[in-house]
């Protein structure tokens, strides 16, 4: 699609990796998913840290005070935040600014992409970034990031509902973590594909639905270990 790499951001401390690429119409900010033990430790650090959440919400005005968020994801995004905003600012002020700004990522990368979308929307609203004509976010197999207040804030930054999608496979367990029973919730916009065993229609894209958080159905954990394969980004692309 004519995309050109314009920046690469690597955080050695928490093993974060972000690519920024663009074409004539869009700037895409892409976050890598978990691929090493440091990333797994970030994934497991899910408990809310009220002080950290409050400090992050003070920087990102789209978030309300008192919001609860996944501590590991906030740490991982914050470690790269300044460099990401600097590169986005440079592209938005360039001679041919993009019409669309898209944040995306797989697995943990999807969670960080959601935090980035909130950050960019807040920075644009406050005048710290040039106006973003259209902000969009597409995530693949992203786990939950925060509570209901977080979900409401995320939904509120987009002009239309179709500008944000959280794509999930019905037999992938990762999007059900951390558990809804622990107070975490996905924003509306979950695009759910049925499990592979439901027939060829799953791979053909039939039965695709969009809605709110599907909760924690037992079908998300059909066979111990089976979800590992379907969580892979290649499986998402195939379906």
Q: What was the pLDDT predicted at 234? A: 87
Contacts of 155 (CB under 8 A, 6+ apart): 161, 164, 187, 188, 189
User: If we measure between CA atoms, which residue out of 17, 26, 44, 41 comes closest to residue 112?
Assistant: 17
Phi, psi (rounded to 5 degrees) for 128: -80, -15
Q: What was the pLDDT predicted at 192? A: 83
Checking DSSP bridges between strand 4-11 and strand 16-22, what pairing results, if any? antiparallel
pLDDT digits (tens, 9 = 90+) for 129-183: 888 889 999 999 999 999 999 999 999 999 998 999 999 987 788 998 999 989 9
Q: What is the C-alpha to C-alpha distance for residues 172 and 195, in angstroms, rounded to an integer? A: 8
Q: What was the pLDDT predicted at 202? A: 45
Q: How does 72-102 read in b/e, with b if 16+ C-beta sit within 10 Å?
A: bbbbbbbbbbebbbebbeebbeeeeebebbb
Q: What was the pLDDT predicted at 207? A: 60
**CA angle, 185 then 189 then 193, to 5°:** 95
Cα 113 off chain centre by? 4
Q: What was the pLDDT predicted at 131? A: 83
Which residues, given as ranges, of the chain have pLDDT below 50? 200-203, 205
Q: What is the C-alpha to C-alpha distance for residues 109 and 143, in angstroms, rounded to an integer? A: 9
Q: What is the C-alpha to C-alpha distance for residues 68 and 89, in angstroms, rounded to an integer? A: 28
Contact at 8 Å (CB) between 17 and 34?
A: no
């Amino acid at each position: 699609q004519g995309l050109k790499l314009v920046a690469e951001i690597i955080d050695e401390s928490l093993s974060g990796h972000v690519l920024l690429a663009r074409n004539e119409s869009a700037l895409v900010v892409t976050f890598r998913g978990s691929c090493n033990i440091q990333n797994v430790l970030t994934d497991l650090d899910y408990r809310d840290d009220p002080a950290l959440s409050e400090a992050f919400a003070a920087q990102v005005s789209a978030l309300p005070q008192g919001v609860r968020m996944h501590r590991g994801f906030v740490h991982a995004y914050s470690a790269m935040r300044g460099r990401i905003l600097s590169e986005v600012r440079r592209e938005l002020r360039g001679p041919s600014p993009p019409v669309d700004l898209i944040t995306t990522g797989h697995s943990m990368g999807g969670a960080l992409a959601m935090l980035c979308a909130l950050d960019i929307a807040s920075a644009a609203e406050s005048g710290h970034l040039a106006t973003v004509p259209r902000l969009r976010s597409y995530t693949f197999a992203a786990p939950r990031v925060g509570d209901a207040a977080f979900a409401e804030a995320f939904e509120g930054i987009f002009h239309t509902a179709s500008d944000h999608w959280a794509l999930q496979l019905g037999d992938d367990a990762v999007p059900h973590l951390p558990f809804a029973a622990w107070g975490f919730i996905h924003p509306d916009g979950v695009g759910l594909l049925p499990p592979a065993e439901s027939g060829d229609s799953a791979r053909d894209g039939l039965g695709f639905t969009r809605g709110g958080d599907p909760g924690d159905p037992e079908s998300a954990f059909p066979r111990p270990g089976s979800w590992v394969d379907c969580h892979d980004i290649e499986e998402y692309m195939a379906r």
